[in-house]
């Protein structure tokens, strides 16, 4: 999903900057050329990376304190359920 969003935004940025450069009819100064290269270069590099980079097959699990809290609550509830089941038998 995020790769598709970055892909679309990069294409849009390249098209917008190319349109602005094409419609600018006055003399180009060196600063304008350098700015144009930066504004076209960055989305082009991002687009190249999005196309060529392979997504990781296994996503690393980022453990936060909130995840640990909910895991602890789940284990406590499971322990209570197991205790009730063992008392019923």
Range of the domain at 18: 2-88
- Structurally, the chain folds into a number of domains equal to 1
Token digits of residue 36: 């144009």
Q: How many helices (H) and strands (E) in the chain?
A: 3, 0
Q: Pick the closest to residue 46 from 1, 10, 2 (CA basis).
A: 10
Measure CA of the first residue to CA of the last residue in the chain; give whole Å. Answer: 50
pLDDT over 90 (residue 79): yes
Which DSSP letter does residue 61 get?
A: P
Per-residue pLDDT, 60? 67
Question: Which pLDDT tens digit goes with each residue over 23-69?
Answer: 877 677 788 778 878 888 888 888 888 888 877 666 667 778 888 89
């Amino acid at each position: 999903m995020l790769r598709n969003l970055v892909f679309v935004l990069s294409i849009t940025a390249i098209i917008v900057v190319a349109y602005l450069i094409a419609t600018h009819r006055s003399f180009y100064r060196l600063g304008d050329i350098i700015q144009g290269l930066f504004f076209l270069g960055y989305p082009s590099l991002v687009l190249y990376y999005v196309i060529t980079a392979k997504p990781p097959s296994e996503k690393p699990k980022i453990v936060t304190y909130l995840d640990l809290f909910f895991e602890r609550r789940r284990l406590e509830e499971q322990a209570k359920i197991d205790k009730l089941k063992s008392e019923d038998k």
